[in-house]
């Protein structure tokens, strides 16, 4: 009986250590392309294709060529997306960290900041063509030195100058 109890406790501890690893990998599934921190940095996303960023990334050249392309930033990964030209209504799922200080928004865009994810934004506005949607269950930091204000209650949606903000549980 004592051996069975020892075996069960070791098995339980092992499962607890493995689950976070599998969970972080499972967050970015169904990938058309994967960037793991090395190799080619240019990607052409056709309609509904998905790029999974599983290693730290700076200077990726992503062409959003088709409707609703998707990018997933995995847990523990940092993507510095400065210089991106977002078009064709991309959807960006952030489980890790996304830093964006300089980008062009040429269409609707959706950022889903998941629990444990962080979105750092360094501009004072969301200017460009289309609707900017920010669904946040993680952390959003506006790192600008100028005023940037969004007001409301949890679980609400607010549109300011055609820029949509959602907060609460996602």
Q: Which domain holds residue 58?
A: 26-146+156-167
Nearest to 68, CA basis, from 98, 46, 53:
46
The per-residue pLDDT for 11 is 43
Is residue 85 one of the residues assigned to a domain?
yes
127 pLDDT higher than 90: no
pLDDT tens figures, 63-91: 999 999 999 999 999 999 988 889 999 99
Nearest to 75, CA basis, from 112, 38, 30, 20:
20
Is residue 76 one of the residues assigned to a domain?
yes
Is residue 66 one of the residues assigned to a domain?
yes
pLDDT tens figures, 93-121: 999 999 998 888 888 889 999 999 999 98
Total domain count, the chain: 1
Element (H, E) at 92: strand 91-94
49 pLDDT higher than 80: yes
Is residue 9 one of the residues assigned to a domain?
no
pLDDT tens figures, 53-63: 999 999 899 99
How far apart, in whole angstroms, are the C-alpha atoms of residue 4 and residue 153? Answer: 51
Is residue 10 one of the residues assigned to a domain?
no
160 pLDDT higher than 80: no
Is residue 4 one of the residues assigned to a domain?
no
Nearest to 45, CA basis, from 60, 55, 58, 56:
60
pLDDT tens figures, 6-36: 444 444 444 333 333 334 446 899 999 999 9
In the chain, the percentage of residues whose pLDDT exceeds 70 is: 65
134 pLDDT higher than 50: yes
SS3 content of the chain, % helix, strand, coil (to 5): 15, 40, 50
Is residue 62 one of the residues assigned to a domain?
yes
The per-residue pLDDT for 129 is 75
Is residue 32 one of the residues assigned to a domain?
yes
The answer to whether the CB of 71 falls within 8 A of the CB of 112 is no
């Amino acid at each position: 009986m004592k051996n069975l109890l020892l075996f069960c406790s070791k098995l339980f501890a092992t499962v607890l250590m493995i689950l976070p690893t599998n969970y972080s990998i499972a967050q970015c599934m169904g990938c058309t392309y994967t960037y793991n921190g090395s190799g080619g940095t240019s990607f052409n996303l056709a309609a509904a294709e998905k790029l999974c960023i599983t290693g730290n990334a700076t200077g990726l050249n992503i062409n959003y060529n088709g409707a609703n392309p998707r990018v997933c930033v995995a847990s523990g990964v940092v993507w510095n997306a400065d210089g991106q030209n977002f078009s064709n209504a991309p959807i960006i799922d952030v489980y890790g960290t996304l830093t964006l200080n300089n980008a062009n928004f040429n269409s609707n865009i959706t950022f889903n900041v998941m629990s444990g994810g962080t979105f750092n934004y360094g501009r004072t506005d969301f200017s460009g063509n289309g609707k900017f949607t920010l669904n946040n269950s993680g952390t959003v930091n506006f790192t600008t030195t100028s005023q940037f204000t969004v007001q409301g209650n949890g679980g609400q949606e607010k549109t300011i100058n055609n820029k949509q903000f959602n907060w609460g549980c996602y």
